[in-house]
Amino acid sequence: MSLEITFLGTGAAFPSPARGASALVLRREGQCWLFDCGEGTQTQLMRSHLRAARITKIFITHLHGDHIFGLPGLLCTLSLQSSPDSSSKAPLDIFGPLGLRSFLQRSLELSHSQLLFPYAVHELVPTPDQCPPQEFRDFSGWDSRDGSAGRVLRLAPGEDSYLLLEDEQVEVRAFRLFHRVPSFGFVLEEKPRPGRLNVQKLKDLG
């Protein structure tokens, strides 16, 4: 399995001409997975060798602006680049903390933006110990869902991570991080693969 990582932005809080806000792309099997989407991510994508249209999954670590303010704009640009039959395509999967769905819905609604492709927001329900007590907010009542697709993922009893994706090659999990707001890290783990033996070489070596 081939994996390639491209850093689009490594700046925290303040983007600069030389460093964009947080964003990186993992390229796998012809697909691009975007991790965080700070302001200016679209521009950074255009400067890179990557194609934004190849993005099939987006993972958001937390809801601070330098990690999410670029997301509504990126989705709108992807919509402008969509073909007329994009509504029948598989949804763009977006993973992130509880409250992300509401942020996207309100941003798109207030800006009168309509996406021409389907997307699904899969929200991770945080636990209160992921941030200082005075910073914890319960966003569970904010979500009207509005018929949009996606799951709400809670930490299973006895588990310390959330299973997000699994296929024959990899498993993707989220785990809890401590920050000023609830945050998550993401782990992509390649599944064991049987090795290949060169039988003739073995025979030659006795």
Confidence class for position 85, pLDDT limits 50, 70, 90? confident
Q: 0.85 exceeded by the pTM?
A: yes
Q: Is the pLDDT of residue 88 over 90?
A: no
Domains of the chain: 4-204 (3.60.15.10)
Confidence class for position 146, pLDDT limits 50, 70, 90? low
Q: Is the pLDDT of residue 141 over 80?
A: no
Predicted local confidence at residue 148, as pLDDT:
66
DSSP symbol at 95: E
Mean of all residue pLDDT scores within the chain: 90
Name the residues annotated as catalytic: 66
Closest CA to 37 of 94, 81, 87: 94
Q: How far apart are CA 67 and CA 183, in angstroms?
A: 11
Q: For residues 72 and 104, is the Cβ–Cβ distance under 8 A?
A: yes
Reported as a single tens digit per residue, the pLDDT across 162-200 is: 999 998 889 999 999 999 999 999 999 998 887 888 888
Q: For residues 188 and 169, is the Cβ–Cβ distance under 8 A?
A: no
Predicted local confidence at residue 49, as pLDDT:
92
Neighbours of 194 (CB within 10 A): 5
